[in-house]
Structure formats: structure tokens, C-alpha cells
Amino acid sequence: MSGCVVAIYARACDSLDPTSGKAQVFLLRLLRISESESMYIVTKVKERGTYMAQRKGRDQKSVPWRSLITSVPLWATIIHSLGNNWCIAFFFTQLPTYMRNVLGFSIKSVSSDGSTGD
């Protein structure tokens, strides 16, 4: 939640640089961290950004979309997840109706019996 607040505030200030005055003061107050901790975070972010910029041209690999789309295990996982979610939704919505109409249970009596532990 605080990350969303910080992102909105930084966007509103039109400053995504954490070292700028307003954003840094806001971060220090919001996150309750010391100035040395704040500077440590800023230097590590800058180091990471420099590293990623240097690496970007060399080792960038593309996503193997063809292999993903033709992957049988991936499709099996997707179909299983969809079927599982559909079954859970179906049983949760239809079970009370089945218990009332077919089994003849009164939902009120079943719920009160279950809550008393009898």
C-alpha cells in the first residue's frame, strides 16, 4: 500500500528520482528510515541500474513464445487450473440448492446444528 502511495506521489511531483528533495523527504517520513539508509538504497539502485544498462545489450534473450505456446505441460496446467476453479465455483454455488431440493435438508437447521457442535 505504501508503495502505491509513493508511486502516486512521485508521479504527481513529476520526479521519479529518489534523490530529489521532495521525494526523499517524503520517503524518509513515510518509511521512517534514517538518511544513511536512504542513501544506501539510492546508491544500490543506481548501481543496479548501471549494471542492467551495461548488460542489456550483451545478454538480452528473447522469450521463447513458440516453445511456450506448443508446450503440452503448460497447456495441461492451464486447463487443470481452469477446470479446478470452475468446479469449485460450481459446487459452492450449487451445493446449497442440491442439499435443499434433493436431500431435503433445511439450510437453516443444518447451519444451526453445525454452529452448536451437536
Burial 16-48 (b: 16+ CB within 10 A, else e): eebeeeebbebbeeeeeeeeeebeeeeeeeeee
Q: Which has more pLDDT, 66 or 56?
A: 66
Question: Are 20 and 37 within one domain?
Answer: yes
Q: Are residues 8 and 47 in the same domain?
A: yes
Residue finishing a domain among 59, 81, 107: 59
pLDDT at 14 over 60: no
| Domain carrying residue 97 | 65-116
- What pLDDT shows up at residue 33? 74
Confidence of residue 60 (pLDDT cuts 50, 70, 90): low
Q: Which three cell numbers stand for residue 53?
A: 544498462
Q: Do 86 and 47 share a structural domain?
A: no
What pLDDT sits at residue 16?
Answer: 46
Q: What is the DSSP letter of 18?
A: T
Q: How far apart are CA 89 and CA 78, in angstroms?
A: 17
**Does 45 lie in the same domain as 24?**
yes
pLDDT at 87 (0 to 100): 94
- Overall number of domains in the chain: 2
- Are 79 and 37 members of one domain? no
Contacts of 96 (CB under 8 A, 6+ apart): 107
Q: How confident is the model at residue 12 (pLDDT cuts 50, 70, 90)?
A: low
